[in-house]
Amino acid sequence: MTSTTVGGKLREEDAAVLVQPASHPRVAWYQAVYIIWYRDLVRYTRDRPRLLASFAQPLLYLAIFGVGLSSSLGGSFSKGAAGGAGVSLSYIQFMYPGVVSMSVLFIAVFSAMSVVWDREFGFLREILVAPVGRGWVALGKALGGATQAMIQGAVMLVLAPFVGVKLTALSVIEVIPLLFVLAFGLTTLGVALATRLQTMQGFQVVMNFILMPMFFLSGALFPLSRLPVWMSVLTRFDPVAYGVAPIRSVILEGSGVPGPVVNRLAALTIGGWQLPSILDVGILSLFGLAMLVVAMRSFSRRA
C-alpha cells in the first residue's frame, strides 16, 4: 500500500493547498451582504413546492373571495364605494392590487422568519461565526427577502388581464419599485421580530397577532374610507396600508379609472387630508429603515 493519500482520495501532493496557512483578508461589508442575498435568491428558485404554494394563496383569494364578492355586490360596489358617476369598477378589480400586496407581505415576512430556524440549524449559524459583521448579515437577509417578495409581487402582475385590469408599461415600471419598498419594510420588520424569537413556536403568535391583522387592516380587501373611528385609527398605524395605497393608485390609474375615483378608493386620509403617494412611500421607507436599524443592532449583539 502506498501512503500517498492524506485523507479520502486527497493525494499528498494536492494537499498543500489546504495545509498552507490561509491569508486572512478582511471580508468587506458588501461581500457579506452579497453572500446572504445571493444565497436567498438561489434557495428561492430551487424550492419548487414553496414557489407553487406562494402562488396558490393569492390565487385563492382572487378566484374565490374576489369572484364571490364581486358577483354578490354586483354593481353596488362601483355605485357605493367608487362613487358612481358612470365608473364601472368591479370588486375584483379593486381587490387585485391588494392581493398583489398580500403576496408581497406574506413572502417578505415568511422569508424573514426563516431566520429563526436558520440561525439554529442552518447556514446562517455558519455565517454568524464567520469573520463578517453580523449587522451586515441582517441587511443581506433583509435585501434577499425583499427581492424575493418583489419578484413574487411582479409575477402576480401577469394575472391582471384575467381580472379585467389593464396594465401599461408605465404602470408596471412604477409599480415594481413600490413593491420593493413595501417588501423591504416588511422583511426588515420580520427580521427584527425573528431576532426576538427563540423557537418556531413564536411564529404562530407572530402570524396571528401581527401578520393577519396587518393584512386585514391594510385596505387590501376593502376601502379604508368610511370606517368606524377605532378601526380607521388602527389602519393608519399599519405599515402595509402605506404600501397598498400607492400600489393601488398606480394600477387603477393605469387601468383608466378616473383620478378622483382612484383617490377616493385608494388614498389614505389623515384628518380628511389625502396623503400623496410620494408621502406614503416616504413613511414606508422610514419605517423600513427604522426596522433595519433594530434588526442590525439585535443581530450584532452577543450575549
Residues near another protein (CB under 8 A): 5-12, 14-15, 17-27, 31-32, 35, 39, 42-43, 46-47, 120-123, 125-132, 198-201, 302-303
Least CB distance from residue 156 to another protein, whole Å? 23
Nearer to another protein, 118 or 238 (CB): 118
**Helix%, strand%, coil% for the chain, nearest 5:** 70, 5, 25
Nearer to another protein, 264 or 297 (CB): 297
Nearer to another protein, 47 or 289 (CB): 47
**φ, ψ of residue 263 in degrees (nearest 5):** -60, -45
Nearer to another protein, 147 or 171 (CB): 147
The kind and range of the H/E element at 174 are helix 169-194
Nearer to another protein, 9 or 56 (CB): 9
Least CB distance from residue 19 to another protein, whole Å? 4
Residue with cell 449583539: 301
Kindly give the pairing relationship between strand 10-11 and strand 5-7.
antiparallel
C-alpha cell at 193: 421580530
Least CB distance from residue 147 to another protein, whole Å? 16
Q: Tell me the C-alpha to C-alpha distance, in Å, between residue 45 and each of 41, 150, 156, 236.
A: 6, 14, 16, 35
Least CB distance from residue 202 to another protein, whole Å? 10
Least CB distance from residue 142 to another protein, whole Å? 18
> CA–CA separation, 93 vs 165, rounded Å?
6
> CA–CA separation, 135 vs 294, rounded Å?
10
